Structure 1
Amino acid sequence: MGSKKDLVAWWLAVLLMAALIAHFSNQPFADQDLRPELSRRAWLMQRVRTLPAARFSYDGQQVDSRRDPAGFVQFWVRKGAHVFFYSLLGLLLAQALAASGLRGGARWLGAAGLLLVVAAGDEHHQLAVPGRTGRLLDVLIDLAGFGLLAGIAWLRERHFRFRS
């Protein structure tokens, strides 16, 4: 178990990151819509159109790099933000749990469990925010990003433990 100062610092970092996520999740979609600004970047829209065509459906909505390059870029920016912020929250949770005395795989599983609760609660909350949707797929994206980083961190820990 870490010092009391470390324990408080890590849990405070968790709370601050969760508050930041809640702040963004509470904003109506119209306040976060990047498409008008992206559309003004003609060079970017042209560059996207030169990429191989990509079109797919995400939860019933079409994402198409040729017909709507601004929407295509926005889709990836938003999903990237999900992965980044939830991965960071998950890593902070893992550190806070380590400072609380949890070690090894238990802290990573504990962090994943807590992250699942936060992500599911966040998506549920978004159902009440104008223009936002709550999607199970977004919860899975949040967890996948954390899973990737947690796996890398876990392998790194094992590698250094076995080398010393």
Structure 2
Amino acid sequence: MNITGGTAAGNLTDRIGQLVKALRDDVPECVASGAIDMSTGMLLAVETLDTHPAEVLDLLAAATLDLFQGRNVVMIEDIWKERRGVRSERHYFQEILVNSDNLTHLFIRTESRDDVVIVVVCRKTVNVGMLFAQARRVVRDIGQL
């Protein structure tokens, strides 16, 4: 299901925009935040300190889709759920932290819609505990999409 469709699209779009802005404002050392639709792999909203070419942002969205729902990831989720006797359609991986040379990227599925993943990009000097705490707080408080 494409989350941007339907009669509530304006409200949903507004709430996603508020969520992404709050993440950018409230998470320490945040340089960018965004939201990706996992059903389409499209970037729904983005807030950054710098301007980035559209191709880079589109690649981030596509990479997020692969990171959470790539063929091998889904296979691993299914095996783990089977071995643990879990009978749920809910995705197993909910949060993923990725460190690059200069940045820390936190990817979180929203609780209310597992077809939306938010991304928070911070400087590498961020306190990872504070990154998780603030991002989770914002997603919990505003992320009821």
Q: TM-score, normalised by structure 1?
A: 0.29
Instruction: Please give the TM-score of this superposition, normalised by the length of structure 2.
Output: 0.32
Give 1 or 2 for the bigger CA radius of gyration: 1
Indicate the structure with greater helix content: 1
Larger strand proportion of the pair: 2
